[in-house]
Copies of this chain bind each other. A is one copy, B any other.
Amino acid sequence: MELLKEKIRTEGKIREGNILKVDNFLNHQMDIKLLNEIGKEFRKRFEGERVDKILTIEASGIGVAAIVSQYFDYIPVVFAKKAASLNLDKEVYETKVQSYTKNKIFNVKVGKDFLNSGEKILVIDDFLANGCAAKGLLDLIHQAGAEAVGVGIVIEKGFQDGRSVLEKEGVRVESLAILDRMENGQVFFK
């Protein structure tokens, strides 16, 4: 997706540890017009697929997923939760997810009411790196007896093994920008 790549080139910042910061438009401040273009692109990529629901994970997937839903007939968006909360029912599907950027293992949960057997689920997230978050979401989907239509990622770190981890699960991965490498403060795409 050229518009997204251009945005990454001009506004992305590269920090130590191969971390690409896109907090100017994606995961701290959000460019809502860009998210709409992202929604249209995911619609194209998954054209013809039945999708009943979008599943994402808090926090930075939520804004993307909410806007993307508008291009999938406003289907419900469910976000898996990382933190214990009085607001969460006891009846949950649960899995463990290692976060690279937060250096922590999270118990990720979805209320059992919100994933149902037979549903076709599209997973949406802002980043794909080692695939832990998306794999955790696939695990929740399988626990519910639902089916993953695919995983839609805004930015994939092509030099990490997230894609192969997910493809081993038999799921289709669509990333709108795939980073090949970062060198001398410049981003190169696959």
The contact sample of 19 A-B pairs, CB cut-off 8 A, is A21-B87, A23-B113, A23-B114, A24-B113, A24-B114, A27-B87, A28-B110, A29-B76, A29-B77, A29-B78, A30-B66, A32-B66, A32-B75, A63-B63, A63-B65, A63-B79, A85-B102, A86-B102, A87-B101
Given contacts A32-B69, A32-B70, A111-B28, contact A63 B77 (CB under 8 A): yes
Is A168 at the interface (CB under 8 A from chain B)?
no
Q: Are B76 and A32 touching (Cβ within 8 A)?
A: yes
Count residues of chain A with CB under 8 A from any CB of chain B: 46
Cβ-neighbour of A79 out of B28, B75, B81, B110 (below 8 A):
B28
Is A103 at the interface (CB under 8 A from chain B)?
yes
Q: Are B29 and A114 touching (Cβ within 8 A)?
A: yes
For A17, the chain B residues whose CB sits under 8 A away are: 86
Beta-carbon contacts under 8 Å, A1-52 to B: 15, 17, 19, 21, 23-24, 27-33, 35-36
Is A67 at the interface (CB under 8 A from chain B)?
yes
Q: Are B19 and A86 touching (Cβ within 8 A)?
A: yes
Q: How many copies does the complex hold?
A: 2
Is A161 at the interface (CB under 8 A from chain B)?
no
Taken together as a complex, chains A and B put the C-alpha atoms of A113 and B25 apart, in Å, by 12
Taken together as a complex, chains A and B put the C-alpha atoms of A88 and B110 apart, in Å, by 26
Q: Are B30 and A76 touching (Cβ within 8 A)?
A: yes
For A77, the chain B residues whose CB sits under 8 A away are: 29-30, 32, 63
For A153, the chain B residues whose CB sits under 8 A away are: none
Taken together as a complex, chains A and B put the C-alpha atoms of A31 and B53 apart, in Å, by 11
Given contacts A17-B86, A23-B87, A86-B17, contact A31 B76 (CB under 8 A): yes
Cβ-neighbour of A35 out of B66, B78, B83, B85 (below 8 A):
B66
